[in-house]
């Protein structure tokens, strides 16, 4: 299965399937929206993850990385 492709500047959010499967029916991540940002790290180069405009939990100087299989484009 090919990974989804999101270009920098694309607005994304978690898929409903991902949120249901992780038991997230309410809370911040159900309403969160991110903008994809350019990143040249190993995770992003493989294409299975992308960097967002939210800071990483582990290192706030780095962008948060999310698995592309858990994301969809925002309609607006």
Query: pLDDT tens digit string along 19-42?
Result: 888 887 766 777 789 999 999 999
Whole-model pTM? Answer: 0.83
Residue 37: name the closest of 62, 57, 17 by CA. Answer: 62
| Domain residue extents for the chain | 11-73
Taking the C-alpha atoms of residue 39 and residue 4, their distance in angstroms, rounded to an integer, is: 16
* 1 or 9, higher pLDDT: 9
Burial of 58 (0-12, 13-18, 19+ CB in 10 A): exposed
In angstroms, the CA 39 to CA 18 distance is 24
Q: What is the pLDDT of residue 20?
A: 87
């Amino acid at each position: 299965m090919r990974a989804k492709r999101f270009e920098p500047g694309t607005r994304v959010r978690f898929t409903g399937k991902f949120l249901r499967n992780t038991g997230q029916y309410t809370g911040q991540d159900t309403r969160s929206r991110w903008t994809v940002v350019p990143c040249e790290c190993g995770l992003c180069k493989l294409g299975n993850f992308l960097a967002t405009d939210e800071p990483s939990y582990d290192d706030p100087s780095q962008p948060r990385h999310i698995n592309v299989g858990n994301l969809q484009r925002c309609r607006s």
